């Protein structure tokens, strides 16, 4: 375990980092596409911050862990590490805390990198080895590549599906997709938007994963090959 002095130094550092909102706030959004976070995500972020400030740490931890960390919110992942380090709403465990800090620092955000490296300095070799296993588990669930892959797999069937009815328009007929009962959307707009979103996700995946030969055309993509590449990268010790 950490000595009282080293643990105190980490807590002070973390408290200071939490106040540096300008660069860190950029990590609140998933940042995995060109889109801004939706209104629901923004609402969840505000809610969990209010809960944390009120000292409702158990509820805050649950939201960070189950709603924000899974969409790539690096600040939420950092906060989970902070809560494990301090025992606020979670088991006090610097080994688990370090695993979350490594995940939060994956995009190279200087503030998160500094926290990660400070805690690494305070852990023993055996603790670091145990933390490696926790980190691998978190990478398999919350790494940016995994999140992007899941989004691509959700959107790809929509892109490839040919469903709906056809309705007349000024220029003849256009296809429509049924989104929900009572709602329709022009297929050209819908499929075009889905294609752009898929292409952006594929390009981001190629960039983050350093996959220079990855096919980014949604109409030609091999999802099995993408999944293989992502899994190899996640399981790699240097990934």
Asked if the model's pLDDT at residue 111 lies above 60, the reply is yes
Nearest to 28 by CA among 14, 10, 9, 47: 47
% residues pLDDT > 90 (the chain): 54
Q: Please give the model's pTM, rounded to 2 decimal places.
A: 0.77
Nearest to 201 by CA among 44, 72, 67, 66: 72
- pLDDT at position 132 is 95
Cα 29 to Cα 32: distance, rounded to the nearest angstrom: 8
Cα 184 to Cα 164: distance, rounded to the nearest angstrom: 9
Cα 73 to Cα 71: distance, rounded to the nearest angstrom: 6
- pLDDT tens digit sequence for 18-38: 544 434 554 555 556 544 567
Asked if the model's pLDDT at residue 76 lies above 60, the reply is yes
Q: Which residue has the tokens 């010790």?
A: 237
Nearest to 48 by CA among 37, 31, 34, 61: 61
Average of per-residue pLDDT across 58-76: 95
Average of per-residue pLDDT across 212-236: 92
Mean pLDDT of the chain: 78
Asked if the model's pLDDT at residue 41 lies above 80, the reply is yes
Cβ–Cβ under 8 Å, residues 169 and 162: no
Asked if the model's pLDDT at residue 164 lies above 60, the reply is no
Q: Which long-range contacts (CB under 8 A, 24 or more apart) does 49-56 make?
A: 52/79
């Amino acid at each position: 375990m950490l000595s009282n002095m080293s643990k105190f130094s980490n807590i002070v550092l973390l408290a200071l980092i939490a106040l540096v909102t300008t660069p860190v706030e950029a990590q609140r959004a998933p940042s995995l596409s060109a889109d801004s976070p939706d209104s629901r995500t923004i609402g969840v972020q505000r809610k969990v911050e209010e809960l944390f400030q009120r000292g409702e740490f158990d509820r805050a931890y649950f939201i960070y862990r189950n709603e924000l960390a899974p969409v790539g919110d690096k600040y939420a992942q950092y906060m989970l590490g902070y809560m494990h380090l301090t025992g606020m709403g979670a088991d006090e465990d610097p080994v688990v805390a370090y695993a979350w800090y490594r995940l939060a620092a994956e995009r190279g955000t200087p503030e998160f990198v500094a926290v990660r490296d400070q805690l690494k300095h305070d852990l023993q070799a055996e603790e670091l080895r145990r933390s490696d296993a926790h980190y691998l588990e978190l990478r398999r669930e919350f790494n940016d590549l995994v999140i992007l892959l899941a989004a691509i797999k959700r959107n790809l069937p929509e892109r490839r599906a040919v469903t709906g009815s056809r309705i007349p328009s000024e220029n003849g007929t256009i296809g429509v997709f049924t989104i929900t009962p009572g709602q329709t959307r022009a297929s050209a707009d819908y499929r075009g938007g889905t294609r752009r979103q898929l292409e952006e996700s594929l390009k981001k995946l190629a960039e983050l994963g350093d996959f220079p030969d990855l096919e980014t055309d949604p109409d030609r993509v091999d999802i099995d090959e993408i999944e293989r590449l992502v899994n190899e990268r996640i399981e790699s010790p240097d990934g």
